[in-house]
Amino acid sequence: MKVTIVGAGNVGATCADVISYRGIASEVVLLDIKEGFAEGKAMDIMQCATTTGFNTRVSGSTNDYSKTAGSDVVVITSGIPRKPGMTREELIGINAGIVKSVADNVLAHSPNAIIVVVSNPMDTMTYLTLKATGLPKNRVIGMGGALDSSRFKYYLSQALQKPSNDIQGMVIGGHGDTTMIPLTRLASYNGSPVSNFLSQEELEKVAASTMVGGATLTGLLGTSAWYAPGASVAYLVDSILNDQKRMIPCSVYLEGEYGQNDICIGVPCIIGKNGIEQIVDVQLNDAEKALFAKSADAVRNMNADLKSVL
């Protein structure tokens, strides 16, 4: 199975590293516009093969899309990341043009690929990719909810003083500092509701930390995060390529689901070899439905800014 990652920067290269280390795909192509950059990242990753023990072939390309031909999955991580103090939404001006041209280029060589959109503002870039390419909705998947959910479980694990892997939880809604919805009511510690162990005040603190999880890291690192984002993309790609049918919150095009239409936003999906195979209705309560509607309004407003590219 072949995966192309366009944008060999922090997130793209980390994703290639995790995919090869875990043997998720037999071939990974990294592509970037910076001369020699993707080739260098690929060579560096390949030089781990004997010490970490993998057989995935990783290669790099400077803007030569012919090398990406026949990819099963294409990940778009090209574009600029935010700097401390910025929102993801402020990236739209530069990233919209990049994402649209990249989507056109990859499809010309891999007409059957499933596209995973990572560049920010991710929900808007996913909507742009879907509309610009005309692909069916199952083949355009925005990655944000997998990462936000892993951060939610991290903050829950810190509050509970228990391992993250014993915690279940999901974040839906937009992938933005104010639009994310950590589903605290449905989160559990090995099946017991987390509200059995944490006060309302502690749970609200966990939710607030989760929502600004990306901004916190951007403040600490000077650019946005990459280890957890890259690993989250690899996790999603694994479910597609290996037809795992995991339930992962992803940004997908809604046509009535969760009361929304003509928008890409995070909801729980079954992810398998056909991409989005099902959108799961987790039965939100009235308060959660109101938060989702508010989040959708904000995400929809951003889509209006795509007029110049669509």
Which residues are part of a known binding site for NAD(+)?
7-12, 32, 95, 118-120
- In the three-class reduction of DSSP (H, G, I as helix; E, B as strand; rest coil), residue 174 is classed as coil
Nearer to ligand OAA, 60 or 230 (CB): 230
Nearer to ligand OAA, 60 or 229 (CB): 229
Find the shortest distance in angstroms from Cβ 235 to ligand NAI.
12
Partner interacting with residue 24 (select from ligand OAA, ligand NAI, none; CB below 5-8 Å by kind): none
- Write down how long the chain is: 310
Of these residues, 2, 41, 175, 300, which one is catalytic? 175
60 touches ligand NAI by CB under 6 A: no
Residues forming the annotated binding site? 7-12, 32, 82, 88, 95, 118-120, 151
- Are the C-beta atoms of 38 and 9 separated by less than 8 Å? no
Tokens of 169: 């939880």
DSSP labels for 267-291?
EEEEEETTEEEEE------HHHHHH
d(CA 137, CA 252): 7
Beta-carbon contacts of 211 under 8 Å, excluding residues fewer than 6 positions away, are 177, 178, 180, 182
120 touches ligand NAI by CB under 6 A: yes
Site for ligand NAI in 138-157 (CB under 6 A): 143-144, 147
Residues forming the annotated binding site for substrate? 82, 88, 120, 151
d(CA 296, CA 254): 11
260 touches ligand NAI by CB under 6 A: no
- Are the C-beta atoms of 25 and 3 separated by less than 8 Å? yes
d(CA 279, CA 269): 4
77 touches ligand NAI by CB under 6 A: yes
Sole binder of ligand NAI in the list 2, 7, 149, 299 (CB under 6 A): 7
Looking at residue 299, the DSSP 8-state letter turns out to be H
Partner interacting with residue 218 (select from ligand OAA, ligand NAI, none; CB below 5-8 Å by kind): ligand OAA
d(CA 158, CA 166): 12
210 touches ligand NAI by CB under 6 A: no
Residues of this chain that bind ligand OAA (CB under 6 A): 81-82, 88, 120, 147, 214, 218, 224-225, 229
Q: Let me know if 175 is a catalytic residue.
A: yes
- CA separation (Å) from 180 to 70, 147, 214, 263, 298? 35, 11, 11, 15, 11
d(CA 241, CA 220): 34
264 touches ligand NAI by CB under 6 A: no
Angle between helices 10-21 and 227-241 (to 10 degrees): 50
Sole binder of ligand NAI in the list 229, 249, 268, 272 (CB under 6 A): 229
Residues near ligand NAI (CB under 6 A) are 6-12, 32-34, 37, 77-82, 91, 95, 98, 102, 118-120, 122, 143-144, 147, 175, 223-226, 229
Catalytic center residues? 175
